[in-house]
Structure 1
Amino acid sequence: MVSRYCYEVPDKCLGDIMRCSPTYSKDLPFGGKMIVLGGDFRQILPVIPRESRQDIVHSTVNSSYLWKFCQVLKLTKNMRLSVETTASDQDETEQFDIVEEVNNHLMAIIPEGEKLYLSSDSICMDEGNMESQLDLYGPELLNSINCSGLPPHKLILKIGVPMMLLRNIDQFSGLCNGTRLQVRKFGNHVIECEVLTGNNVGHIALIPKMNMVPTNETVPVRFQRRQFPIIVSFAMTINKSQGQTLSHVGLCLPKPIFTHDQLYVALSRVKSKRNLKVLLMNHVGISANSIINVVYREVFEKIVF
């Protein structure tokens, strides 16, 4: 999912440091250092908001001048499917989302009393034309902004509800972006949670409020939101599920997958097909038995499998 420019910038920096830049040599990328890149072009490509298919393909690393220096190494064993599975499970495996609606529906079913946390939103002070922006973007308007990677202004929680962490807080303790947690206790300034995923399953963590600045280009003004860096996560988007291994998966697809191989990513999160359930609907909301798998075939042109 990383843009080619995230590789080209350190290539130039290391080249200058090691005096191996194109000025000195054209055959030593990354200053002569060996770099290992991990990825799968069958999975999600770089996310470029409001750009065309051509722009997305052009941003992949195999469209970079660095690709000619890369040697493709292939992994042949699916470790996700081989861990804690029976022989019959392995035999079987050889054969966008309405996330917010699902989360709200399941939240309403839980009988426990709810706790409401409101964020504090303000325009970033490093912006120019502060006076005019303060007039245009008052607190009510900032409160109404919801975008990817940012918790809502009104965060409603209940004891026992699963959540997802939206920021890296303490990587050593497993508190990273994407970590799943469960609410245990409420506080005014911290929330006590139990870690549900990773190497620290069962550990207790205190999640504080943080200042978060959205990087979404669709947001009309640069502002910060002070809120707990979490969202309710009975369900998650396909992008957020990438890299996770789950024992059971329910895939809700009332609309077709809209970009390169999200369907592949969603279906490959589970260890056994018997633990995978998929709900498909056609354009009029009636159950269906097939869906289009979107693939940008041109990203494979420079890759030999």
Structure 2
Amino acid sequence: MVHKHAFEALDRSMNDIFNSRRINDSQMLFGGKVIVFGGYFRQIMPVIPNTSRQDIVNVLLSSSYIWEKCKVLKLTKNTRLTANSECSEIEQTRVFANWILDLEEDKVGGDNDGETVIEIPHDLLITDSMDPISALIQFVYPSILENINNSSYFQERAILAPKHEVVQEINDCMLSLFIGDEIEYLSSDMLCESEQLHDQFDKTLYSTDVLNGLKLSGIPNHKILLKVGVPIMLLRNIDKKPGLCNGTRVRVLSLGNRVIEAHIISESNIGSRTFIPRMSLTPTDKMISFKFRSRQFPVAVCFAMTINKSQGQSLSKISLFLRQPVFTHGQLYVALSKVKSKQCLKVLIIDDDDIIGNKINNVVY
């Protein structure tokens, strides 16, 4: 997901460091050092707002001058699936792994120009027409109240959806199932001083209510509702050494006025106790024409998360909730390829009329 400019900046910096006295080698990549890139182009591409498909593809490493001198080494075995398969399931696992690859190599659904409609196999679908969302939750989080104090229970489970609105709907539903007092945290939002100094800036247009109502990527909501035992995800890097980074999941132990006490349940340092403070955050979204500061706990409830946010997470039991279709390259592949076995995946497809379906869009550039 990294923009090619990041790699090119690293190349120039390393050339400045290692070739400062070697003029003849000034065109050598990365100062003559061997660099190993890990990743694959089936995953979700960099998020470039308000641009075309061509613009998004153009920011990839494969569109950089560096790519011409890269040697590509390909992995051929899906160890995530095969390492967890019983002997009796090897053939079924092989078919499932090949179907996932065909999905992202655009070999499912016939000819298309970047977007096609595919049919999800029946054994992967949630078909409970009476209460499909409860069936979705029950698959991923069975006996959740009995496991409320079990941190390992939440480590590799999640409900995925393409958009934040659906994720919020599921998280609110799950939060209501938990016993205990609900604690409400409100953010303190204000315009940055640099904006207030502008003579032509009308502060009356950006009241506190307006700032409180903004929902931006990477910025926690104005109102956060939490309960003890609930899993939450960090939205900002706090401290790298103990593993408190953007995307790290923790389980709430206690809720104070100024700090949240929690156990780490993902990444490294699983089981470590930590404290999360409020932080002053400034959005970097270019859609916002002014600067403001929001002081809030940098967390969000994470029974469910967006597909983009799940990239890089270790998950083993997943429900994919598609109230709206996926909208960019690699989303469907990333969601379906995270499981360790076919039995750990279910898909719920609901249209605008709340009718359960079995077909969904797949976007492949």
For the residues of structure 2 that align with 1:13 and 1:75, how far apart are their CA atoms?
A: 30
Give the equivalent residue in structure 2 for 1:105: 173
For the residues of structure 2 that align with 1:77 and 1:169, how far apart are their CA atoms?
A: 36
Structure 1: which amino acid aligns with 2:262?
A: C
For the residues of structure 1 that align with 2:289 and 2:226, how far apart are their CA atoms?
A: 28
| 1:78 Cα deviation after fit | 2.8
Unaligned runs of 5+ in 1: 297-305
Q: Deviations over 1:153-200 (max 9, x none)?
A: 111111111111111222222211111111111111101111111232
Percent of residue pairs bearing the same amino acid type: 48
For the residues of structure 2 that align with 1:85 and 1:172, how far apart are their CA atoms?
A: 35
- What is the TM-score when the length of structure 2 is the normalising length? 0.75
| 1:133 Cα deviation after fit | 5.0
Q: Deviations over 1:227-285 (max 9, x none)?
A: 11100111000011112221210000012111101000001111111010100134544
For the residues of structure 1 that align with 2:326 and 2:61, how far apart are their CA atoms?
A: 23
Structure 1: which amino acid aligns with 2:185?
A: Y
Conserved? CA contact 1:81–1:90, under 8 Å:
no
Q: Deviations over 1:61-103 (max 9, x none)?
A: 1011111011111122333224555334544322223111111
Conserved? CA contact 1:20–1:28, under 8 Å:
no
For the residues of structure 1 that align with 2:175 and 2:89, how far apart are their CA atoms?
A: 33
For the residues of structure 2 that align with 1:86 and 1:169, how far apart are their CA atoms?
A: 41
Pairing of 1:12-51 with structure 2 (within 5 A): 12-19=12-19, 25=25, 27-51=27-51
1:102–1:129 CA distance, 2 compared to 1 (3 A): same
For the residues of structure 1 that align with 2:204 and 2:345, how far apart are their CA atoms?
A: 51
Structure 1: which amino acid aligns with 2:192?
A: C
1:7–1:144 CA distance, 2 compared to 1 (3 A): same
Give the equivalent residue in structure 1 for 2:268: 199
Higher relative contact order (CA 8 A, sep 6+): 2
| 1:44 Cα deviation after fit | 0.6
2:301 matches 1:239: no
1:291–1:45 CA distance, 2 compared to 1 (3 A): same
- What is the TM-score when the length of structure 1 is the normalising length? 0.89
| 1:130 Cα deviation after fit | 4.1
For the residues of structure 2 that align with 1:10 and 1:24, how far apart are their CA atoms?
A: 20
Structure 2: which amino acid aligns with 1:114?
A: E
| 1:210 Cα deviation after fit | 0.8
2:9 matches 1:9: yes
For the residues of structure 1 that align with 2:241 and 2:80, how far apart are their CA atoms?
A: 23
Structure 1: which amino acid aligns with 2:50?
A: R
Q: CA RMSD in A?
A: 2.2
2:238 matches 1:169: yes
Residue aligned with 2:11, SS: helix
For the residues of structure 1 that align with 2:197 and 2:328, how far apart are their CA atoms?
A: 38
2:286 matches 1:224: no
1:82–1:176 CA distance, 2 compared to 1 (3 A): farther
The number of equivalent residue pairs is 296
Structure 1: which amino acid aligns with 2:180?
A: E
Conserved? CA contact 1:80–1:245, under 8 Å:
no
Give the equivalent residue in structure 1 for 2:334: 265
Conserved? CA contact 1:10–1:30, under 8 Å:
yes
For the residues of structure 2 that align with 1:3 and 1:258, how far apart are their CA atoms?
A: 20
For the residues of structure 2 that align with 1:265 and 1:76, how far apart are their CA atoms?
A: 17
2:41 matches 1:76: no
Is the deviation greater in 212-221 or in 161-170?
212-221
Unaligned runs of 5+ in 2: 96-161
Structure 1: which amino acid aligns with 2:339?
A: V
Give the equivalent residue in structure 2 for 1:139: 208
1:126–1:90 CA distance, 2 compared to 1 (3 A): farther
Structure 2: which amino acid aligns with 1:63?
A: S
Q: Deviations over 1:11-37 (max 9, x none)?
A: 22222333379x855751122222211
For the residues of structure 2 that align with 1:181 and 1:133, how far apart are their CA atoms?
A: 41
Residue aligned with 2:45, SS: coil
Give the equivalent residue in structure 2 for 1:290: 359
